[in-house]
Amino acid sequence: MAKSTRNCVRLTVILYVYAAAVTATVLPSDQIYDTSKYGILQLGNGLAQTPQMGWNSWNFFRCGIHETVIRETADALVTTGLAKLGYVYVNIDDCWSELVRNSEGDMVPDSKAFPSGIKALADYVHSKGLKIGIYSDAGLYTCQVRPGSLKHENDDATLFASWGIDYLKYDNCFNLGIDPKERYPLMRDALNATGRTIFYSLCEWGLDDPALWASKIGNSWRTTKDIKDTWESMTAIADINDKWAAYAGPGGWNDPDMLEVGNGGMTNQEYRSHFSIWALMKAPLIIGCDVRNMTAETYEILTNEEVISVNQDPLGVQGRKVYTYGPDGCYQIWAGPLSGERTVFVLWNRCSEAATITAKWDTMGLESSTNASHEYVSLCSTNSFSAKVEAHASEMFVLALAAAAASAA
């Protein structure tokens, strides 16, 4: 990155503020960023050192999936460059199997939708340098009433491993009222026993507060109900996931559900906010649209390398909502620490009209005497930063200490 004579560099969506004379000290973490549960993750399969990235069939295709869609999606992830950015999991959701198990008690791929079988499909996905995921349920049936894995954990895990599966999304329907803390470890143990390293994604919907216990069981855990492609659903889910920020870290992540970016229910401004907040929260970045037919705007959002780098930052501390003000608290500052003595913050305007939003350094855990200025903000301040943000939009920034800025220049 070239050094700017103005000591600041404007990027797409993200602004890196490189102040020439920045002094900043981080306040005690329990004041702003409670990471008291950071580092307790004990699954130990070596996966999820950063949040998982990839694609899932459900949000767009629902049950209308078949092997051609999966193959073409794998192709598209490669040809669009999404794979190089980290979107490597190609995850098949519900409806991939026949309605009943075969005479040996095994799950069977739907013969019409997947006539070549899952093993052949996995081989194709792997040939593209990608990984493949599949779906099952910690109940008797899946949510679309296909066979679940309750009481079949060992057989199903062995079958998935034999197919070359890399990722399991494990749902929560038809669970017979059995405590999830009893059901979900059974599949963890079964997956580990196969000898194949398989990413384990718990989809318990946040009903029994999985952030409190799932770090010993899975690589990610759903903290919320299913997302819908609406502004109301997305913002509500972000707020719920924020509650559990202290429990995320390398090895296991809070999961507020898959991305709706590109599915048409929100504006592009709202989708940018969706993507930015998910990135800051260290949420899994699992694309939910048809990547074979993306608009230019959708592609621009999903391929923003600076935003992705925030999500994949090796420090692995989940950013959170640190300050709200204005009508019904709709002017919001979300922030979190990054590696290299940096801080990321998002000014999020959840009001229906454009507004100037101000982030004060102390609300983000910083004490500073910095003069930060930028060409599109007429501001020189020793303790805050302001920017105009359109309705339902967000602006993401990274503040670096002087030493970090100099090394990055």
User: How far from the centroid of its chain's Cα atoms is residue 348's Cα?
Assistant: 18
For residue 185, the one-letter residue type is P
What is the three-class DSSP state of 7? coil
Give residues with Cβ within 8 angstroms of 250, minimum separation 6.
41, 48, 49, 50, 314, 316
Closest C-alpha among 17, 20, 21 to residue 345:
17
Token pair 């009433």: residue: 145
Concerning whether 93 is annotated as a catalytic residue, the answer is: no
Q: Would you tell me how many other CB atoms lie within 10 Å of the CB of residue 25?
A: 9
Both tokens assigned to 259: 């991305």
The catalytic residue among 93, 156, 166, 171 is: 171
What is the three-class DSSP state of 117? helix
Give residues with Cβ within 8 angstroms of 61, minimum separation 6.
69, 93, 290
The whole-angstrom separation of Cα 134 and Cα 314 is 27
Closest C-alpha among 292, 48, 308 to residue 168:
48
The whole-angstrom separation of Cα 202 and Cα 224 is 11
The whole-angstrom separation of Cα 361 and Cα 17 is 13
Burial 204-239 (b: 16+ CB within 10 A, else e): bbbeeebbebbbebbbbbbbbeebbbebebbbbbbe
Question: Are 86 and 312 spatial neighbours (Cβ–Cβ below 8 Å)?
Answer: yes
Question: Are 22 and 405 spatial neighbours (Cβ–Cβ below 8 Å)?
Answer: yes
The catalytic residue among 75, 106, 209, 226 is: 226
Both tokens assigned to 344: 């990321």
The whole-angstrom separation of Cα 83 and Cα 88 is 5
Concerning whether 171 is annotated as a catalytic residue, the answer is: yes
| Catalytic residue numbers, as ranges | 171, 226
